[in-house]
Structure 1
Amino acid sequence: MTEEKYYINKVDTDKKSIYCHHDLMGELLIPTHKHDKAQMLYTEGGIVYVITQTNTYFLPARHFMWIPKGVEHSIHTNSENVIMRNLYFPVKKNEHTFYESEGIYPVNDLLLQMMLFTNRWDGNLIKGSRNYDITKAIKAILPTICLNNLPLSLPFSKDVRLTKIVNYLDDNLGETILFSKLAIQFGFSERSLYRLFQKDLGMSFIQYLTIRRILKAIELLLEKNLAVNEVAQAVGYNSVPSFSNTFYKILRQRPSDYINGEQILKKS
């Protein structure tokens, strides 16, 4: 499998253009690559993970990911029928700090309609053209309307001891997991395990487990067509209100609203 198959070699051919590419994924993986332009990636129709050298990002429906220039990343999906909408922007000096960091953001109705307007465009959009001006406007409004960089990513564990624990958590998200018992099970004191999470992952055990559970919940909501209470139980929540509140804190919307938003997207 070559990068050329995925148009990657064309993105930077004209350094001043905005490059546009919308298409079916066609495969389950786009291999690791990078480009000199910043990328706005919006996807529809399946589960999408973007993996960088330091993090795994989950890109849910009705959200986009901003990938700064030069960031190596690969794209993984659960379906070849995922639609990818890509805009690649040249980087200029002294731009807004928004454009310097990786991030996942919800797409409001305005941004969604602007993205869908570019649906039939492909290739280099040249300065001075109507299409260029429209896509430039999309980029320009992002710092204003994208105020919530959602924590939909998890860092990779570099410590072999913690990798085993993280794998165990992934396999048992539906179970009640007590930190004290987890420490004993893997031969740690609570204090030393707490420090290991902070040192290796930069977050606490509770933070890691909460985000991992919500990421799994999003997968189940999108893939399995389960009721909210079924999803809550599947990711370890005995209380639907507690699950809904946690979901809201991370995605800024309730699970039921998220499902409804996905249905709206499919109809548009």
Structure 2
Amino acid sequence: MATDRYYLTEVDKHSDSIYCHHDLMGELLIPQHYHNKAQFLYVEGGIAYVKTDISTYFLPARHYMWIPPGVKHSIHPNSEDVMMRNLYFPVEKKDVAFYEEEGIYPVNDLLLNLLLFTNRWKGDLYKGSRNYIVAKALKVLLPDISGKNLSLSLPLAKDARLIKITDYIASHIGDAISFEDLAKRFGLSTRTLHRLFVKDLGMSFMQFFTISRMLRAVELLQDKSMPVSEVALAVGYNSLPTFSNIFYKMLGQRPSEYANGRNILSE
């Protein structure tokens, strides 16, 4: 692992500063690391996967992830051209419970405008400075404006049998996979397979399959090469209203709204 990356050498150098870094990713992997500061991560122009020891989070454009201090994570963008904005905040005694939980949230207009205001910042922001005050205001607002913590993560399978099964699901995301057929294909009873999902992943097969489909849909919508109706079919939905409703439940936006979203950092 390189030892001269800003996230290893600069973020925690001054414990009381807010550290700012925004730029093109420029690489397809930021290897596992952690900070003593909490991290606000926002991306545009693509998708980033954030892997912790227990889950893989899916961070689509126009959403942000809050990563509490001390959480080991790696970042895997789907392109070197993904635009990334990071703000790292020191821990404060008066921090509320919101800041202690990993989460992914949609970015509303107020937060977009605050981010646009900070577009040219880089490095440490110190107490008393105008930029520090604006960044601190952004943090203070997060619990009130972020809404629901979206279920944009998939736990990592640990059981060898389930790793093969989840790999199969990922490669057949648009197929009509029934639970019974899946159990038969891998030589398991439906009861055993259900127990595997619940014990190892903390969710049912249908929950896992639905989330996997929606995350694939986000990738396709971000690519902008298909209309929404074709994206729905590509991830296994013959009914566009059903697809739209499930997408909205997970991401807080309709597929058409997401596909037509604004990229402020590239403007």
Report the TM-score, using the length of structure 2 for normalisation: 0.97
Computed over aligned residues only, the root mean square deviation of the Cα atoms, in angstroms, reads 1.3
Counterpart amino acid of residue 139 in structure 2: K
1:171 equivalent in structure 2: 171
Distance apart, 1:87 and its partner CA: 0.3
The residue correspondences of 1:165-204 to structure 2 (distance < 5 A) are: 165-204=165-204
* Distance in structure 1 (CA, Å) of the matches to 2:125 and 2:94: 23
Partner of 2:30: 30
**Preserved CA contact (<8 Å) 1:6 1:30:** no
Q: How far apart are residue 224 of structure 1 and its match?
A: 4.8
**1:238, CA displacement in angstroms?**
1.4
Aligned-pair CA distance for 1:3? 4.4
1:260 maps to a residue whose letter is N
SS state of the match for residue 120, structure 1?
A: coil
Q: Which residue of 2 aligns with 1:121?
A: 121
Range that drifts further, 78-87 or 164-173: 78-87
- Equivalent position SS for 2:95: coil
Q: Do the aligned residues in 1 keep the contact of 2:116 with 2:264 (CA within 8 Å)?
A: no
Query: Which residue in 2 is equivalent to 1:222?
Result: 222
Contact kept, 8 Å, 1:3 with 1:31, in 2: the verdict is no
SS at match of 2:51: strand
- Residue by residue over 1:128-169, the C-alpha shift from the partner in whole angstroms, topping out at 9 and shown as x without a partner, is 111000000000000111121000000000100111110000
Please tell me whether the aligned partners of residues 68 and 99 of structure 1 are also in contact (alpha carbons under 8 angstroms).
yes
Structure 2: gaps spanning 5 or more residues: none
Query: In 1, are the aligned partners of 2:176 and 2:236 still within 8 Å (CA)?
Result: yes
Deviations 1:55-88 (A, max 9, x none): 1111111100000000111111121111111000
Structure 2 residue matching 1:261: 3-state secondary structure: coil
CA distance, structure 2, for counterparts of residue 200 and residue 25 of structure 1: 33
Task: Report what 2:45 is aligned to.
Answer: 45
Give a deviation string over 1:24-81, Cα, whole Å, max 9, x none.
1111111111010000001111121111111111111110000000011111112111
CA–CA separation in structure 2 for the residues paired with 1:44 and 1:3: 26
Contact 1:49 1:56 in 2 (8 A): yes
Report how many aligned residue pairs link the two structures.
Answer: 267
Q: Say which SS state the counterpart of residue 2 (structure 1) adopts.
A: coil
Distance 1:91 1:6 in 2: 19
Provide the C-alpha distance between the structure 2 equivalents of 1:137 and 1:218, rounded to a whole number of angstroms. Answer: 30
On the 8 A contact 1:20/1:125 being kept in 2, the answer is: yes
- Give runs of aligned pairs for residues 1-268 of structure 1, distance below 5 A: 2-262=2-262, 265=264, 268=267
Task: Verify the 8 A CA contact 2:83 2:265 in the aligned structure 1.
Answer: no
CA contact (8 A) 1:52 1:72 kept: yes
Q: Please report how far the alpha carbon of residue 5 of structure 1 lies from its aligned counterpart in structure 2 after TM superposition.
A: 3.0
Tell me the secondary structure at the aligned position of residue 4 of structure 1: coil
Q: Is the 8 A contact 1:47 1:60 kept in 2?
A: yes
* % same residue: 63
User: Does the 8 Å contact 1:3/1:9 carry over to 2?
Assistant: yes
Question: Given that residues 17 and 90 in structure 2 are in contact (C-alpha distance below 8 angstroms), is that contact kept between their aligned partners in structure 1?
Answer: yes
Q: 1:102 & 1:174 partners in 2: Cα distance?
A: 29
Secondary structure of the corresponding residue to residue 66 of structure 2: strand
**Any idea what SS the aligned residue of 2:260 has?**
helix
2-side partners of 1:266 and 1:69: how far apart? 26
Q: Give 1:267 deviation, angstroms.
A: 6.8
Unaligned runs of 5+ in 1: none
| Structure 1 SS opposite 2:174 | coil
Q: Distance in 1 between matches of 2:7 and 2:40?
A: 15
Q: Structure 1 CA distance, aligned partners of 2:7 and 2:266?
A: 28
**How many Å apart are 1:93 and its aligned residue?**
1.8
- Paired amino acid for 1:114: L
Equivalent residue of 2:41, what SS?
strand
Could you tell me which amino acid in structure 1 is paired with residue 211 of structure 2?
I
